[in-house]
Amino acid sequence: MSVDKDRVLKVLKRVKGPDLEKNIVDLGLVSEILIKDDRVYFSITVPAERAEELEPLREAAEKIVKDVEGVKGVTAVLTAEANTKSAPTANGAPPPQSGSNVHEHPRVAEARQRMAGNAPPAGPQAGAGGGTRGAGLPGVKHLIAVASGKGGVGKSTTTVNLALGLQSLGLKVGILDADIFGPSQPRLLGLTGRPSVAHGNTLKAMEGYGLKVMSMGFLVDEGTPIIWRGPMVVSALNQMLRDVAWGELDVIVIDMPPGTGDVQLSMAQQVPLSGAIIVSTPQDLALIDARKGLNMFRKVDVPVLGIIENMSTFICPKCGEESHIFGHGGAEEEASKLGLPFLGGIPLHMDIRAKSDSGQPITATSPESAHAQIYRDIAAKTWSELEATHGNRLNPPKLDIADGGAALNVTFDDRAAYTLSAEMLRVMSPSAEVQGHSPDQRVTVGGKKNVKITKLEPVGNYATRITFDDGHDTGLFTWSYFDLLGREKDARWAEYLSELEQKGLKRG
């Protein structure tokens, strides 16, 4: 039996409203019913200050619709936004939503008036010092928002390659595509299909190139427009973040919606962010919008880890001439003015665009390219800034090449000393060639039993680049990655030997 709105409204009439007398349909609280592929999406309008208290009401409504024959899934969200599409009633309150036969409940009208600015706010408001930050995500250590003051600056492409760069540092990484209205991550990662159910209302994250991923693009067709209002979008994003089985992750990178409106501000307030990154192009107009994004995060006390300049320069593939189509260095100059780290500049290049469009991000599929190296360098700087922000940055260790280049002694002042073989460092180099994809996707490097270290090149105060005698020099080893390899040396080496055997490879 097919699912229709009338059947959904009928069962929702069995859910009592906040007054415990009338049901939520007759109170005019139900709106925005959308049915797609037998999945039901709807919102329940409640007073903003009672949203947390009325969460059980949302759960009851979601459960009762889920029990309807033919329904494959339900997403119910709480919203408290004014109805700007309908004419107001005589007392200034908007009329009830479709599906209601009575006047809207006075408390709901009051909430909507408040949201519209027609009544003084009740209770404490978020001031310049921030808002109410949501609880942490179980199993996830950090959440990093990647934001831009405007669209079209390459934020989503930067996000996926940044995530892969972080993964190359030995981190377990996920991506939340928070751009509800224009989700890009499914296409960028070449992922299709629907997420499966882990248990209850919890979905399993999709996976591509070793990244855990969740996006609205997995739940609706690519060409389907999303016409939700602000609070509904924020609630849906929170559900995509919290009702997903992410597993144990070091960091989730959030591809934020472009702009600095209510949705972005609410996300910054409600999601327990460890830090934010601003992506901008070099020209003045983009930098104006980037400043808005910076100020938004500062308003809610989210540390800004730095600024990335995308489309920084263009190098002609035929003649090699460098052209500054959008200007050059504007983001770096702005970062200096604002006292923020400049994380790096990314060139405008056809390879980045072509591989992004085909679902083969360049950091994963062209690991030896200069562009992949740029993204890995930016990821290393980002992680260093995050560690510094949270007081976890390691002091530079003493590095000594030993045994004629066959090993490296790594000595931290406040931690144990490690001796890591050149072979281990080479085959576990933090480059996309050998980084932490799933075993079937990962390139397992064999034949390096006799490789030697020839050069150590410091990079800032957070990493070193190792050159090996086979010519490999694209791995950027951060202090935290050295520490990770040292602590997990035996387990990681055993895993590597197992992969060699499974793939029929030899050490040398």
Identify the H or E element spanning 455.
strand 453-459
For 123: left if phi > 0, alpha if psi spans -120 to 50, otherwise beta; the answer is left
DSSP 174: E
Q: In the block, which residue shows the tokens 């906040």?
A: 18
Whether 127 has a binding-site annotation, put simply, is no
Whether 155 has a binding-site annotation, put simply, is yes
Structure tokens of 258? 């472009």
- Say if CB 313 and CB 345 are below 8 A apart: yes
Question: What is the C-alpha separation between 408 and 402, in angstroms, rounded?
Answer: 6
Beta bridge partners of 411: 398, 417
What torsion, rounded to 10 degrees, do the Cα atoms 53, 57, 60, 61 define? -140
Task: Give the three-state DSSP class for 36.
Answer: strand
- Say if CB 187 and CB 359 are below 8 A apart: yes
Question: What is the C-alpha separation between 421 and 402, in angstroms, rounded?
Answer: 9
Question: What is the C-alpha separation between 327 and 308, in angstroms, rounded?
Answer: 14
Whether 344 has a binding-site annotation, put simply, is no
Q: What are the angstrom distances between the C-alpha of 124 and each of 135, 182, 188, 274?
A: 19, 33, 41, 24
Whether 152 has a binding-site annotation, put simply, is yes
Whether 210 has a binding-site annotation, put simply, is no
Question: What is the C-alpha separation between 113 and 7, in angstroms, rounded?
Answer: 31
Phi, then psi, of 213 in degrees rounded to 5: -135, 140
DSSP β-ladder status, 342-348 and 398-402: unpaired
The number of angstroms, rounded, from the C-alpha of 203 to the middle of its chain's C-alpha atoms is: 17
Question: What is the C-alpha separation between 421 and 493, in angstroms, rounded?
Answer: 11
Whether 153 has a binding-site annotation, put simply, is yes
What torsion, rounded to 10 degrees, do the Cα atoms 441, 447, 449, 453 define? -80
Binding-site positions for ATP:
149-156
- Point out the annotated binding site: 149-156
